Structure 1
Amino acid sequence: MDSRESSRLTAPLALRVGEGADSRQITDAIGAMWADIESALQPVFGRRGVEALFKRALHLTASRHAWLEPAKAGGDGAACDLTELKARIAAQPPAVAAEAGSALFTNFRDLLASLIGARLSEQLLQTAWSTSSSAPAAQDSKP
């Protein structure tokens, strides 16, 4: 991925939290973005498909941020993983929390793009990358 594509992925997190955000604000923004991702992708891939992508992206991100590695005890789906993820991120200094969150989104997008292509991935994730979870879905302007 080139630097232009990478900045498109990290910018939404930065826009949602702004400069000087604390770890809790970063955690809340990450949680909101993941909720938006789930809303955008579950109709296409189903709950289990989104969970599988989420878990794989988390595993890949944990290779650089070992503190993200989820506990091996059983959990019930992405909601449990997201709760654990948010707690782990909130415990980090703001710069580390933002870096890990951005890396997680980048890994998730790369996984999705490897399955369905970059253009379709961007299209599906467009609302999640917006600055507000209440942003309207993109509409086709053609009649």
Structure 2
Amino acid sequence: MVDSEDRTGIDSILAQQVAAGAGADAVADAVVAAWHEIDGALRPVLGQRGVAALYGRCVYVVATRHPWIEELRDGASTQIDFAALTSVLAGQPAGQAAAGGSELLQTLYELLASLLGPALTEQLLHNVRPHLSGGSPAQDTSS
């Protein structure tokens, strides 16, 4: 399982964007950019359908707490619909978009860590968090 520091990091990156005045569009852009990075990192290993299956599972799990994410379930088993993800996130208030988007990302980390182990998960996805924050891997986002 991904440690609480990673979860706090993902949550705090998006929360900081909202606190700085970012709207749902900016949050959606950050979350979708992260999913593009995830897709790029995992597709060579799992294939398009494998990545889509993980995404679909994340959508299914997160929709229990954020029902508006349910809209993303259509077609999620064969590919990630980045336009739909952007639209659904951007259509929410910024705080809800950040909460739902960070939960989608965190759920992926937790799912992968349970399947592959935390070390391999971190190795595969080490570039995603810096892309979310717009900073370098050494940037501290915990404060």
* Interval containing the TM-score (normalised by the shorter chain): 0.7 to 0.9
> How many positions carry a matched residue from both structures?
136
Alignment match, 2:64 = 63
CA distance in 2, matches of 1:125, 1:21: 25
Unpaired segments ≥5 residues, structure 1: 138-143
Once the two structures are aligned, what percentage of the paired residues are identical? 37
Alignment match, 1:101 = 101
CA RMSD, Structure 1 to Structure 2 (Å): 2.8
Deviations 1:24-75 (A, max 9, x none): 1111111111101111111111111111000100110000000100366557
- Aligned-partner SS, 1:31: helix
Q: Per the alignment, do residues 127 and 51 of structure 1 end up closer, same or farther by CA in structure 2, a change over 3 Å counting?
A: same
Q: Per the alignment, do residues 7 and 116 of structure 1 end up closer, same or farther by CA in structure 2, a change over 3 Å counting?
A: same
> Which range moved further: 71-80 or 111-120?
71-80
Length-normalised TM-score, structure 1 = 0.80
Amino acid at match of 2:80: A
* 2:128 maps to 1:128: yes
CA distance in 2, matches of 1:53, 1:86: 18
Amino acid at match of 2:64: S
Q: Per the alignment, do residues 93 and 113 of structure 1 end up closer, same or farther by CA in structure 2, a change over 3 Å counting?
A: same
Alignment match, 1:9 = 10
* Contact map agreement 2:52 2:77 (CA 8 A) in 1: no
CA distance in 2, matches of 1:56, 1:11: 23
CA distance in 1, matches of 2:120, 2:35: 18
* Contact map agreement 1:16 1:132 (CA 8 A) in 2: no
Length-normalised TM-score, structure 2 = 0.80
Alignment match, 1:117 = 117
* Contact map agreement 1:53 1:108 (CA 8 A) in 2: yes
* Contact map agreement 2:49 2:77 (CA 8 A) in 1: no
Alignment match, 1:53 = 54
- Aligned-partner SS, 2:113: helix
CA distance in 1, matches of 2:3, 2:111: 16
